[in-house]
Amino acid sequence: MKKIQDNKGFTLIELLIVVAIIGIIAAIAIPGLLRARMSGNEASAIGSIRTISSAQATYASSCGGGGYDISAAATGLVTAPVANTPAFVPADLALAFNGGTAKSGYTFTNAAGPAGAAVLAADICLSAVATQTQFYATALPQTLGTTGTRFFATNESGVIRQDNAAIATIAGGIALQ
């Protein structure tokens, strides 16, 4: 009897074609995935700016004596007002102030409003924090074009503004470049 030889499997050419097809699909998909990630980072930054605005309003009514926290590190917002109580902003957002650990690719700044805002008494809960009648907070992409392309800001009005260039300050509802 004669034995039948059976060679099962893929040839090298067939495997190379499959690898090439997978490479082409990956090359098409990766830019879309990066854009989706950047869009997610920007949505997170908008939510964080909204959180900062709400935290400032709560801080002003409970600890700030009617004024907003204007410290660069948002000291009044990131510190618990009373022992065993939560801070005004979550811990991950607190770390992202002034170039700290980025939250979803964005860092945040907190500052006093335009010149001329009245300085109020020191913080009722943390006497070291000065308060003012105006504030502004900004969200800056950690790596422009990679983690985000838009800058966001808010002030005591609670309106969230966005621009494709850095927002320097907000005065009278107009973003100044």
| CA–CA dist 32, 81 (Å, integer) | 44
As given in the structure block, the two tokens for residue 64 are 């700030």
Tell me: the pLDDT tens digits for 17-52? 999 999 999 999 999 999 999 999 999 999 999 999
Which residues of the chain form beta strands (DSSP E)?
68-69, 106-112, 119-120, 131-132, 135-141, 151-155, 160-163, 169-171, 174-176
pLDDT value at residue 175: 47
Residue 44 Cα to chain centre, angstroms:
6
- pTM of the predicted model as reported, rounded to 2 decimal places: 0.79
Cα 43 from Cα 105, distance rounded (Å): 11
Phi-psi region of 37 (alpha: psi -120 to 50; beta: other; left: phi over 0): alpha
pLDDT of residue 40: 95
Question: For position 127, what pLDDT does the model report?
Answer: 67
Q: Which of 75, 76, 78 is nearest to 90 (CA)?
A: 78
Residue ranges of the chain with per-residue pLDDT less than 50? 171-177
Q: Would you state the pLDDT for residue 122?
A: 64
